[in-house]
Amino acid sequence: MAYDLVVIGSGPGGYVCAVKAAQLGLKVAVVEKRSTYGGTCLNIGCIPSKALLHASEMFSHAAHGMGDLGIEVPAPKLNLEKMMAHKDATVKSNVEGVSFLFKKNKIDGFQGTGKIVSAGKVSVTGEDGKAQELETKNIVIATGSDIAGIPGVNVDIDEKVIVSSTGGIALDKVPEHMIVVGGGVIGLELGSVWMRLGAKVTVIEYLDTILGGMDGDVSKQFQRMLAKQGMAFNLGAKVTAVEKTGTGAKVTFEAVKGGEAQTLDADVVLVSTGRKPFTAGLGLEEAGVALDNRGRIEIDGHYKTNVDGIYAIGDVVKGPMLAHKAEDEGVALAEILAGQHGHVNYDVIPSVVYTQPEVASVGKTEEELKAAGVAYKVGKFPFTANGRARAMLATEGFVKILADKETDRVLGGHIVALGAGEMIHEIAVLMEFGGSSEDLGRTCHAHPTMSEAVKEAALGTFFKPIHM
Ligand SMILES: Cc1cc2nc3c(=O)[nH]c(=O)nc-3n(C[C@H](O)[C@H](O)[C@H](O)COP(=O)(O)OP(=O)(O)OC[C@H]3O[C@@H](n4cnc5c(N)ncnc54)[C@H](O)[C@@H]3O)c2cc1C
């Protein structure tokens, strides 16, 4: 049977594209080589990491955060096996949810490795080596990304002692010392998990700041908060070797600007230096699909590759490697294929670091505005001046809003706080509608809420906050 659409890969890009296309009346198949749907995000990424972040945060809260609220509890005991079972159950219910959506929307699922034979033809090879061919009007490549190693360093990731994020969410005991190579989102999130559960955690990062690319105020203050929690940092440091020893592993590094080599021993080393697009085995060369100079599939403004009838979305194409970016591209492409006008606003894609406190941002950073020569205003409001934050003993952090100096249109929002990842969306919605900081500052916010700090920062952008 010929399909309207065959999607290769069932991560948030692929499965959402498939569901939306089926909702719009297209006949859809999805090819997935994993035994479960949901891709990196649901199986080994966003979802399991957030299950562990939540559980470890509760553990840490029970140990350190209750006494000042007048709740005296005995020191909590860790049952790591049960915590991991909670994570696995969370993954299971989410991946089953995707199977349910496929059934509900009459999407055919094929388990196996998908390869593009030519435009209009995809072969699927199952684990038994048997292949079948699917015919389709359109092909969507949504094969995601894979771990990138450390540039120039040969690292043997065994997922036990030297681990990627995949092993980092499945350790069977809390390491005494964990070295995290790479101070980006994944390293800081998983480093936080194991630090809360009792590990000493040392982050080694090539750049002079953690969370490279985030607003400078945010990364500086956030680093101080993590250091206060006990995380150690070696910034501006280049890792030159990661080797297994009899008892664990040792990491050799030196200052980027030059200096003596140093070594640190750890029982677990987490390599979290980023991810790279995954295109192996797809038959792209034979099909004539072009890649860009960073190995990503090249696409036009409508997600079409250089070959008619072949499209690509998600981590395998340019843009931030985020699940919601992949999802929104999936929806936009399904709409385009159904004859509608799908579109993603890349200026308004929020990003969240799910640590404690959380870090959330949307739009431009102050550094980006400076570099682009845009005249801007800044409004900042600390949670120390927010009543709800005081009531919850959650006064760490601030809201920062950046608006155009002339028009007052909001260009960026940055929040460090408990619940920042939920609060960021009011700034995102405002930006989607081209709103100004005065619009935000004059919007009535319920009292007492953490979100009042967003309103106050907006007030600070076009005039003055009330409570400061
Ligand atoms: C530890 C971790 C935590 C993360 N946390 C977050 C987070 O909190 N928020 C967020 O937004 N993002 C997060 N991410 C990133 C997020 O997971 C990715 O951006 C997202 O999964 C990309 O979706 P995708 O659909 O492009 O690809 P993927 O989710 O990578 O899915 C691609 C799928 O394609 C399949 N595939 C590949 N090749 C073939 C083939 N030839 N045939 C058949 N199937 C194939 C793969 O098996 C995979 O299932 C995290 C990532 C990691 C690793």
Kindly report the CATH number assigned to the domain that includes residue 417.
Answer: 3.30.390.30
Determine which residue's CA is closest to atom 7 belonging to ligand 1. 46
Q: Please tell me whether 436 is known to bind a ligand.
A: no
Q: Which residues constitute the domain of residue 381? A: 351-462
Specify the pLDDT at position 356. 96
Rg of the chain (C-alpha set): 23
Neighbour count for residue 56 (Cβ, 10 Å)? 22
Residue 10 in domain: yes
- Both 114 and 185 in a single domain? no
- Both 262 and 288 in a single domain? no
Q: What is the CATH number of the domain that holds 83?
A: 3.50.50.60
Determine which residue's CA is closest to atom 35 belonging to ligand 1. 9
- Both 204 and 111 in a single domain? no
Query: How many angstroms does the Cα of residue 327 sit away from the middle of ligand 1?
Result: 11
Tokens of residue 104, six digits: 């509900």
Query: How many angstroms does the Cα of residue 275 sit away from the middle of ligand 1?
Result: 10
Q: Please tell me whether 274 is known to bind a ligand.
A: yes
Tokens of residue 332, six digits: 């936009």
- Both 413 and 330 in a single domain? no
Distances in whole angstroms, Cα of residue 381 to Cα of each of 95, 261, 280, 394: 40, 42, 47, 14
Q: Which of 285, 312, 337 represents a domain boundary (last residue)?
A: 337
- Both 261 and 297 in a single domain? no
- Collect all residues with Cβ–Cβ distance below 8 Å to 85 and sequence separation of at least 6: none
For the CA of 351, the closest atom of ligand 1 is 11
Specify the pLDDT at position 267. 96
DSSP summary character for residue 442? T
- Both 287 and 357 in a single domain? no
Residue 287 in domain: yes
Specify the pLDDT at position 259. 85
Q: Please tell me whether 5 is known to bind a ligand.
A: no
What are the pocket residues of ligand 1 if the criterion is a CB atom closer than 6 Å to any ligand atom? 8-14, 31-34, 39-41, 45-46, 49, 113-114, 142-145, 165, 186, 278, 281-282, 314-316, 321-324, 326, 354
Q: Which of 295, 313, 337 represents a domain boundary (last residue)?
A: 337
Give the total number of structural domains in the chain.
Answer: 3
Q: Which of 40, 169, 318 has the most ligand 1 atoms within 8 A of CB, as the residue to mutate?
A: 40
pTM exceeds 0.85, yes or no? yes
- Both 450 and 405 in a single domain? yes
Residue 344 in domain: no
Query: How many angstroms does the Cα of residue 77 sit away from the middle of ligand 1?
Result: 33
Residue 258 in domain: yes
- Both 300 and 365 in a single domain? no
Determine which residue's CA is closest to atom 2 belonging to ligand 1. 45
- Both 7 and 128 in a single domain? yes
Strand partners, 381: 399
Specify the pLDDT at position 126. 95
Residue 346 in domain: no
DSSP summary character for residue 197? T
Determine which residue's CA is closest to atom 37 belonging to ligand 1. 143
Residue 399 in domain: yes
Q: Which of 143, 165, 355 has the most ligand 1 atoms within 8 A of CB, as the residue to mutate?
A: 143
Q: Which of 41, 146, 147 has the most ligand 1 atoms within 8 A of CB, as the residue to mutate?
A: 41
For the CA of 13, the closest atom of ligand 1 is 25
Q: Please tell me whether 407 is known to bind a ligand.
A: no
Work out the burial of residue 447: count CB atoms within 10 Å of its CB; fewer than 13 is exposed, 13-18 middle, 19 or more buried: exposed
Q: Please tell me whether 144 is known to bind a ligand.
A: yes
Residue 50's Cα: distance from chain center in Å? Answer: 11
Taking the chain (468 residues) in runs of 10, the rounded mean pLDDT of each run is: 94 98 98 98 98 98 96 97 98 98 98 96 96 98 96 95 98 98 98 98 97 95 97 97 95 94 97 96 95 96 98 98 98 98 97 98 98 98 98 98 98 98 98 98 98 98 94
- Both 281 and 143 in a single domain? yes
Cβ-contact 424, 362 below 8 angstroms: yes
Q: Which of 312, 337, 362 represents a domain boundary (last residue)?
A: 337
- Both 327 and 235 in a single domain? no
Query: How many angstroms does the Cα of residue 107 sit away from the middle of ligand 1?
Result: 20
Strand-by-strand arrangement of the 358-363 sheet: 351-353, 358-363, 410-417, 398-404, 376-382
Residue 345 in domain: no
Query: How many angstroms does the Cα of residue 111 sit away from the middle of ligand 1?
Result: 17
- Both 140 and 232 in a single domain? no
Residue 407 in domain: yes
Please, how many CA atoms are within 13 Å of residue 419, restricted to the half-sphere of its CB?
14
Tokens of residue 363, six digits: 């739009």
C-alpha span between 465 and 455 (Å, rounded): 8
C-alpha span between 242 and 249 (Å, rounded): 7
Active site positions, annotated:
447
Query: How many angstroms does the Cα of residue 40 sit away from the middle of ligand 1?
Result: 3
Q: Please tell me whether 69 is known to bind a ligand.
A: no
Work out the burial of residue 331: count CB atoms within 10 Å of its CB; fewer than 13 is exposed, 13-18 middle, 19 or more buried: buried
User: 242-251, long-range: CB within 8 Å, 24+ apart, which pairs?
Assistant: 242/150, 242/153, 242/155, 242/162, 242/181, 242/269, 242/271, 244/156, 244/158, 244/161, 244/162, 248/161, 248/177, 249/161, 249/162, 249/179, 251/179, 251/181, 251/204
Specify the pLDDT at position 1. 65
